[in-house]
């Protein structure tokens, strides 16, 4: 592997001059620059990035911690990060944690070990305080709302309120909600929105641990078995909404006539099933998080809220019609 010393020898200049040419620095005589460039071509020189990184103390790499790379919503955030990273000549390392705390520790460790210059945390299960201990090693940007951290987030309280209000304006009063991990920050905000907005909120109408299409199907079956059922269900993901709807239709029930359903995310599933859903611009979240991670603004712990939109489909209407 040829290095800058070989180049210097070949071009009959010093390594400094070679380095200057390589980095497009000024103050290099044209003939020497030419000599170096010729040497580069002749020797087929390729710069070793690792050495650059060690010398400069920068990796030009951002780490991304997320639970699942193949969840559409996480993939959309990745997409935003990928776009931005390319534009800024940065790279990004992705770690899939499955919400396992020891795996999340590995990611934090990577920041401490200078494998990456900064971290974007899409979602996590470790305590925020524990994560923030690693901020001494570099920027950490969350894609969820927490106090005193850099964050790009959607307000799940407001977002859920939008869905609930939509139901109410259609005449629904018996409304249930589906949540993911029950103690996550997002779920807590959602539950608060529910209890603040809706008058009747029995705990049997709060369906927890729902993430997948199959989880949605289970909820539908459970709903069928309940003596007292809500007439409307606000879910935490389009996948869950899809599962509910499919299972219900399979059993001869109608959506929204028998049960109104609103999804969350605004994914492809919402498009093909004509779901009414709360659309989230995930790519924007990724972009914003990235730009904070590579700038100096992170030290001020900026908090950027990204707005959501209620997308009208065909799964939320009735209630009014029913009476």
Partner DNA sequence: TTGTAAGCGTTATCAT
Partner DNA sequence: ATGATAACGCTTACAA
Under the rule (CB under 7 A), what is the footprint of DNA?
A: 1, 3-5, 12-17, 19-20, 22-23, 26-29, 31-32, 45-48, 51-52, 54-57
Q: How far is the CB of 323 from a second copy (least distance, A)?
A: 30
- Closest to a second copy by CB, 138 or 197: 138
Q: How far is the CB of 34 from DNA (least distance, A)?
A: 10
Q: How far is the CB of 39 from DNA (least distance, A)?
A: 12
217 binds, among a second copy, DNA, none (CB under 5 to 8 A by kind): none
Strand pairing report for 61-66 and 91-96: parallel
- Residues ≥6 apart with Cβ < 8 Å to 186: 144, 156, 180, 236
Closest CA to 76 of 307, 267, 310: 267
Q: Are 172 and 231 a contacting pair, CB within 8 Å?
A: yes
Q: How far is the CB of 120 from a second copy (least distance, A)?
A: 13
272 binds, among DNA, a second copy, none (CB under 5 to 8 A by kind): a second copy
Q: How far is CA 239 from the centre of its chain?
A: 17
- For residue 301, what is the DSSP state? -
d(CA 70, CA 49): 30
- Closest to a second copy by CB, 132 or 188: 132
Q: How far is CA 29 from CA 24, 26, 34, 36, 102, in A?
A: 12, 9, 9, 11, 54
- Closest to DNA by CB, 4 or 82: 4
Q: Are 262 and 316 a contacting pair, CB within 8 Å?
A: yes
- Closest to DNA by CB, 21 or 141: 21
- Closest to a second copy by CB, 104 or 144: 104
* List of residues contacting a second copy (CB under 8 A): 46-51, 53-54, 59, 61, 68-70, 72, 75-76, 78-79, 82-83, 86, 91-96, 103, 109-110, 112-115, 213, 239, 242, 246, 268-269, 271-273, 283
- Closest to a second copy by CB, 59 or 123: 59
What b/e readout covers 72-87, taking b as 16+ CB neighbours within 10 angstroms? bbbbbbbebbbebbee
Q: How far is the CB of 314 from a second copy (least distance, A)?
A: 12
């Amino acid at each position: 592997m040829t290095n800058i010393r070989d180049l210097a020898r070949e071009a009959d200049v010093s390594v400094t001059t070679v380095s200057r040419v390589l980095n497009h620095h000024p103050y290099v005589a044209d003939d020497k620059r030419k000599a170096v460039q010729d040497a580069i071509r002749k020797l087929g020189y390729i710069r070793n990035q690792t050495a650059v990184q060690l010398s400069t103390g920068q990796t030009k790499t951002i780490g991304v911690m997320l639970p699942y790379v193949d969840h559409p919503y996480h993939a959309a955030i990745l997409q935003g990060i990928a776009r931005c990273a390319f534009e800024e000549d940065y790279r990004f390392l992705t770690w899939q944690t499955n919400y396992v705390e020891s795996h999340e520790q590995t990611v934090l460790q990577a920041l401490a070990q200078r494998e990456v210059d900064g971290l974007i945390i899409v979602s996590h299960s470790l305590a925020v305080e524990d994560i923030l201990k690693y901020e001494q090693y570099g920027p950490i940007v969350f894609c969820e709302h927490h106090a005193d951290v850099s964050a790009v987030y959607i307000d799940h309280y407001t977002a859920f309120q939008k869905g609930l209000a939509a139901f109410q304006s259609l005449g629904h009063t018996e409304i249930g909600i589906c949540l993911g991990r029950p103690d996550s920050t997002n779920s807590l905000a959602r539950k608060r929105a529910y209890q603040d907005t809706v008058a009747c909120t029995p705990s049997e109408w709060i369906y927890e641990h729902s993430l997948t299409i199959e989880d949605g199907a289970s909820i539908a079956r459970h709903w069928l078995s309940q003596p007292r059922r809500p007439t409307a269900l606000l879910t935490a993901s389009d996948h869950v909404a899809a599962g509910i709807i499919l299972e219900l239709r399979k059993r001869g029930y109608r959506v929204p006539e028998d049960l109104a359903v609103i999804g969350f995310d605004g994914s492809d599933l919402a498009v093909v099933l004509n779901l009414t859903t709360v659309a989230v611009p995930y790519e924007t979240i990724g972009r914003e998080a990235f730009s904070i991670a590579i700038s100096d603004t992170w030290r001020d712990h900026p908090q950027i809220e990204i707005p959501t939109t209620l997308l009208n489909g065909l799964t939320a209407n009735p209630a009014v019609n029913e009476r």
